Amino acid sequence: MTQNIYDDEEFFAGYSRLRRSVEGLDGAPEWPALRALLPDLRGRKVLDLGCGFGWFCRWARQQGAARVSGIDVSEKMLARSRAETADPAVTYTRADMEHLDLPPASFDLVYSSLALHYVENLSGLMSQVYRSLVRGGHLVFSVEHPIFSATAWSHWLPDAAGRKLWPLDSYLDEGPRSTDWLTKGVIKQHRTLATYINLLIGLGFSISHVEEWAPTAEQIAAEPSWADERARPPFLLVAARR
């Protein structure tokens, strides 16, 4: 079973204070890029893997989705999602993404934001996702970029001129990384960018777009501290079709 860190008291308290938890989708700087990869949702059936507080599920309904299913392993997050959603076409289910059994040919879009890098058996999950999509259906997801997740020891290193460098290590060595983020010992699964892509191709997906996200010039103008993120991409965004 994937570590259910979101139900850890300290982690949950910290996560709840993040801008993306308070402001929702617009509080996530990568959201405009992720949104640009989505198909028209009118009348579509949508699955959100790792739905968290349900921001995307509710937004998808506002865009006209016919039915939205959110899955998450965190009881605390689902409790808040349910409390904030008064819409019978949006349902939330508690489930471990390592052992999903999704109904075949049931979704037009499977979406996931920053959740798949917690999943150990990604191959099993993606095989379920492929099966659950209708022919021509879309998969759109974001994960921590492999350059970011490679080293557990993830912090900037100043060079002699005071410039910040990202010290990369162990990129090719896939597997768990224990990092301290919001609390101690958060376990993420590092895999290379090629592994994400080849796993999808091997299942029959066609890759539509790959994005190594970093803030735009406009975003940096608004938040100058984000300029460092252009040294290495924090997020990887992928769009594929069955």
User: Which positions touch a copy of itself (CB under 8 A)?
Assistant: 147, 157, 159, 163-173, 192-194, 197-198, 201, 206-212, 214, 229-233
Q: Residue 216: left (phi > 0), alpha (psi -120 to 50), or beta?
A: beta
Which own/partner contact pairs does 214-218 have at CB distance under 8 Å and 24+ positions apart?
A: 215/29
At closest approach, how far in Å is the CB of 117 from a copy of itself? Answer: 17
At closest approach, how far in Å is the CB of 145 from a copy of itself? Answer: 9
Planar angle of CA 107, 112, 114, nearest 5 degrees: 175
32 or 104: whose CB is closer to a copy of itself? Answer: 32
How far, in Å, CA of 103 to CA of 95, rounded?
14
81 or 149: whose CB is closer to a copy of itself? Answer: 149
Q: Side chain identity at 175, as an amino acid letter?
A: G
At closest approach, how far in Å is the CB of 112 from a copy of itself? Answer: 18
Cα dihedral across residues 34, 37, 42, 44: positive or negative: negative
At closest approach, how far in Å is the CB of 154 from a copy of itself? Answer: 12
At closest approach, how far in Å is the CB of 168 from a copy of itself? Answer: 4
9 or 159: whose CB is closer to a copy of itself? Answer: 159
At closest approach, how far in Å is the CB of 191 from a copy of itself? Answer: 11
108 or 229: whose CB is closer to a copy of itself? Answer: 229
132 or 154: whose CB is closer to a copy of itself? Answer: 154
User: Which residues touch 124 (CB under 8 Å, ≥6 apart)?
Assistant: 98
From start to end of 1-132, where are the E strands?
45-49, 67-72, 90-94, 107-113
Burial class (CB in 10 A: 0-12, 13-18, 19+), 216: middle
Closest C-alpha among 47, 29, 227 to residue 133: 47
48 or 229: whose CB is closer to a copy of itself? Answer: 229
